[in-house]
Structure 1
Amino acid sequence: MSRPVVVIPCSTETVSGLISDTVGRKYCAAVAEGSECQPLLLPVGKGLSDIGSVLAIASGILLTGAISNVHPENYGLEEPVLPEAIDRDRDAVTLPLIRAAVERKVPIMAICRGFQELNVALGGSLHQAVHTVEGFADHREPKVTDFDVMFAPRHPVTLTGELKTWLGQDRIIVNSLHGQGIRDLAKPLVAEAFAEDGLVEAARVAAGNPFSLGVQWHPEWQLRSNPASLALFRRFGDAARGMIAKGQAA
């Protein structure tokens, strides 16, 4: 039996002087090993992605973290705090893709920047620099080159709603590698996890979607050593398999 296809939109990066579509392999590995699905990378350059064609084959969408930020013009502001960290090509693909996928109830797993994209696509807004907002902690990663230190667990989050039920826990410890965060939560979303400073760390599309969850942390990192992360990717994979059972994707 063929595995469900999970589409992963790329980010724009310059590699050896050439504009390239990239995805960290840890995301693909998490889809293949954790969700037991087939990852398929989606380029984001202008004219390279047709959403209808993508959703005709996608049983799920994974939205990854990235070093880039969503352009604030997409949530009503004009100037980015970090102009060099903008990826308009990715925004142009992921935001309409999210809206179409939610409408069709295609399962979505959204991680870090992907969570922020999910919120913005559905009408929410972001803090461009959480650490500068009174009352919030600094959620950025430590400035180190050791990835085990960079992605190490940093702070607890309190779980609510479906996410609490899925994981069977009130609280988990998560890593933290983000400068931006949720300001106004989009109305189609319901918050499912909070940091100690009150920042929304996870949210779910509540309108009958089989699995449409965004998390601000990185569950793809060292997936097999983290039962909560593995449980999320397993549930995402089960939702993708459910799409095939309904005949809604190849």
Structure 2
Amino acid sequence: MTLQQSVPARAVVGVTSNRLLVDGVHRDWLRRKYVQALQRHAGVACVILPTVDAEDAREEVAPAIMGRLDGLVLTGDESNIDPAVLIAPASLTGPDRQDVEAAILDRPRDRLSAVAIESAIALGMPILGICRGLQELNVYFGGTLRPSLAEWSHESGAMHAEKPDRPRDRQYDAAHSVRISSDGALFPIAGTVEAQVNSLHNQGIEALASALRREAWAPDGLVEAASVVGAPTLQIGVQWHPEWHVSTDPLSKQLFKAFGEACVRYCRTKK
């Protein structure tokens, strides 16, 4: 028996990276928490998807990569979304454009997410959006974002903001409750209509896209989870960070498990 025969094949998912500009050098990067959670709790293998420059956005690279994958993970990041770029990834090609500004702007990531979501939806593959990833799904389908939750509501800003006075891993402790729709895609995964989640984000959903269904919401009414209406598989985004304490948080563990199972089922349909 060969090694290839003895080791069961794993579903393979694409994980979005972010652009980092240091000393004039462009780098793609990704927090290990996502990869660890996906490998250990979703049971999938990971391929890190590179960010996209404007001049490359028209090339048919994404379909070639996505067609080999069994799922897509849209990761979180501190940068805000540029809706114009995510909706039209080949725009803003001028040499004087400012594409990357730490913790503020990441247009190469916007372009990557745009082409990856387009391919994943066309292929009918599982999608898991996390924090920025949920917001990307909403913008891609025509929804809008609140530029600043603190400007929308002082209480909401405090509820959803980072907690800089805490150690980094403690910033990802549960921050508020969410109410989960009893007849949606998240309820069978969560097994409850209420849960505690962590929260570290400055922007949030303003108008939910008509192609998305509200799955969970915070006490202030902010959409905390949404799924793609009529999806052939699990295509969902959450505003919180399930990857951070997945080994101890039941909801996080169940979410990654459900996503992994959806990826395996999708993988089997391709054989």
TM-score normalised by structure 1 residue count: 0.91
Corresponding residue of 1:170: 193
Distance 1:243 1:172 in 2: 28
Long gaps (5+) in structure 1: 77-81
Over aligned residue pairs, what C-alpha RMSD do you find? 2.1
Equivalent residues in 2 for 1:110-129, closer than 5 Å: 110-129=129-148
SS in 1 for 2:185: helix
- The ranges of structure 1 where at least 4 consecutive aligned residues each deviate by more than 6 angstroms after the TM superposition are none
Distance 2:169 2:243 in 1: 13
Moved more, 172-181 or 98-107: 98-107
Deviation at 1:244, TM superposition (A): 1.4
Aligned: 1:214 with 2:225: no
Corresponding residue of 1:98: 117
| Residues 86 and 114 in structure 2, CA contact (< 8 A), matched pair in contact too | no
Corresponding residue of 1:9: 16
Corresponding residue of 1:141: 162
After superposition, give the CA deviation of every residue in 1:137-173 in whole Å (9 maximum; x if it has no partner): 1111111361222111100000002212221101000
Distance 2:113 2:216 in 1: 23
Q: 1:56 to 1:72 in 2, by over 3 A?
A: closer
Aligned: 1:108 with 2:116: no
**Which letter maps to 2:109?**
R
Distance 1:198 1:230 in 2: 25
Corresponding residue of 1:79: none
**Which letter maps to 1:8?**
V
SS in 1 for 2:236: strand
SS in 2 for 1:137: helix
| Residues 129 and 236 in structure 2, CA contact (< 8 A), matched pair in contact too | yes
Distance 1:43 1:92 in 2: 10
| Residues 111 and 215 in structure 1, CA contact (< 8 A), matched pair in contact too | yes
SS in 2 for 1:65: coil
Deviation at 1:227, TM superposition (A): 1.0
Deviation at 1:134, TM superposition (A): 3.9
After superposition, give the CA deviation of every residue in 1:78-129 in whole Å (9 maximum; x if it has no partner): xxxx976111111111113212211221100000011111111111110010
Distance 2:82 2:220 in 1: 25
Aligned: 1:62 with 2:83: no
Aligned: 1:238 with 2:261: yes
Q: Percent identity?
A: 35
Long gaps (5+) in structure 2: 1-7, 88-99
Deviation at 1:16, TM superposition (A): 6.3
SS in 1 for 2:174: coil
| Residues 85 and 111 in structure 2, CA contact (< 8 A), matched pair in contact too | no
Aligned: 1:28 with 2:52: no
**Which letter maps to 1:143?**
P
Which of these residues, 108, 114, 131, is aligned with residue 150 of structure 2? 131
Moved more, 24-33 or 38-47: 38-47
